[in-house]
């Protein structure tokens, strides 16, 4: 019998929802992450919702997912954007305390008995007679340990890490989220078993600090904040 019914690679926003959903369906779930400290990590603006994404969050909520519960528990500002325009573009958006958000999601998953955490890097994946075999390396400061596990189904939710690249001006370097290593061995392994891979380009433009300072409004917390009591953002 395989070790898991479902093994989820990645504990970002997609991976935690996948693990949560599979566990609610009674599956034995393994969830693998490069670090326990970055579960459901928000790499930049710690917002949940906004135009288009606000609707997605409500759909996840309606399906019994985690994101709406997590932002209700850890949100620090809830707003309906674009109210001066027509209802088609009204957009629910919440700002999270990003450390508490990730911690809350991790605790919620840790409380589910059917979920086992594997902290390490999946560097190999191959089909093996109706199940998938996965090679994982667990690293500490001074040692590393390899392990192989098996699962009936694998969900790859590695976000921007899979063969990830960051471009800063003329520089290009492999990276996952900024400051975290990209996942190149897994990408190569997935390619070897016959999957074609592509790349989505995320462009992030940063304003220089002086410009940011000019546009910052120090009285923002007294004005715009409005707290919604219950529903998801």
Ligand X SMILES: Cc1cc2nc3c(=O)[nH]c(=O)nc-3n(C[C@H](O)[C@H](O)[C@H](O)COP(=O)(O)OP(=O)(O)OC[C@H]3O[C@@H](n4cnc5c(N)ncnc54)[C@H](O)[C@@H]3O)c2cc1C
Residues that bind ligand X in the complex, under the rule CB under 6 A: 9-15, 32-35, 38, 41, 43-45, 47, 53, 121-122, 157-161, 177-178, 183, 186, 202, 204
Is the CB of 26 or the CB of 169 nearer to ligand X? 169
Structure tokens at 221: 């917390």
**Minimum CB separation from ligand X for residue 14, in Å?**
4
Question: Could you tell me if 149 and 4 are in contact, meaning their C-beta atoms sit under 8 angstroms apart?
Answer: yes
CA 46, 47, 52, 58 torsion-angle sign: positive
Instruction: Please write down the HEC assignment for all residues of 135-184.
Output: EEEEECCCCEEEEEEEEEEEEECCHHHECCEEEECCEEEECCCCCCCCEH
**Minimum CB separation from ligand X for residue 94, in Å?**
11
Q: How many residues make up the chain in this entry?
A: 233
Is the CB of 1 or the CB of 89 nearer to ligand X? 89
Structure tokens at 226: 């409005």
**Minimum CB separation from ligand X for residue 116, in Å?**
14
**Minimum CB separation from ligand X for residue 12, in Å?**
2
Question: Could you tell me if 31 and 110 are in contact, meaning their C-beta atoms sit under 8 angstroms apart?
Answer: no
Q: Which of 130, 113, 51, 121 is nearest to 88 (CA)?
A: 51
Q: Look at the block and give the residue holding tokens 């979920």.
A: 115
Is the CB of 60 or the CB of 219 nearer to ligand X? 60
**Minimum CB separation from ligand X for residue 15, in Å?**
5
Is the CB of 73 or the CB of 119 nearer to ligand X? 119
Is the CB of 17 or the CB of 72 nearer to ligand X? 17
Structure tokens at 87: 């209802």
DSSP, collapsed to helix, strand or coil, labels residue 161 as: helix
Is the CB of 150 or the CB of 158 nearer to ligand X? 158
**Minimum CB separation from ligand X for residue 130, in Å?**
23
Q: Can you tell me the distance from the alpha carbon of 184 to that of 162, in angstroms, rounded to the nearest whole number?
A: 6
């Amino acid at each position: 019998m395989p070790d898991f019914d479902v093994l989820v690679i990645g504990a970002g926003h997609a991976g935690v929802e996948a693990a949560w959903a599979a566990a609610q369906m009674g599956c034995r779930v393994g969830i693998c992450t490069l670090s326990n400290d970055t579960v459901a990590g928000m790499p930049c603006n710690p917002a949940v919702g906004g135009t288009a994404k606000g609707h997605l969050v409500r759909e996840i909520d309606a399906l019994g997912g985690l994101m709406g519960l997590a932002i209700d528990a850890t949100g620090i500002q809830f707003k309906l954007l674009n109210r001066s325009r027509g209802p088609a573009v009204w957009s629910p958006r919440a700002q999270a305390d990003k450390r508490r958000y990730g911690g809350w999601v991790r605790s919620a998953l840790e409380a589910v008995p059917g979920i086992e955490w594997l902290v390490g890097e999946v560097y190999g994946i191959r089909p093996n007679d109706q199940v998938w075999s996965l090679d994982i390396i667990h690293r500490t400061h001074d040692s590393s340990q390899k392990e192989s596990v098996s699962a009936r189904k694998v969900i790859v939710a590695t976000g921007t890490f899979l063969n990830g690249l960051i471009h800063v001006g003329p520089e290009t370097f492999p990276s996952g989220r900024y400051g975290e290593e990209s996942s190149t061995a897994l990408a190569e392994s997935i390619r070897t078993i016959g999957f074609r891979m592509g790349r989505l380009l995320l462009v992030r433009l940063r304003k220089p600090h002086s410009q940011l300072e000019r546009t910052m409004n120090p009285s923002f917390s007294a004005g715009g904040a409005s707290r919604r009591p219950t529903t998801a953002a």
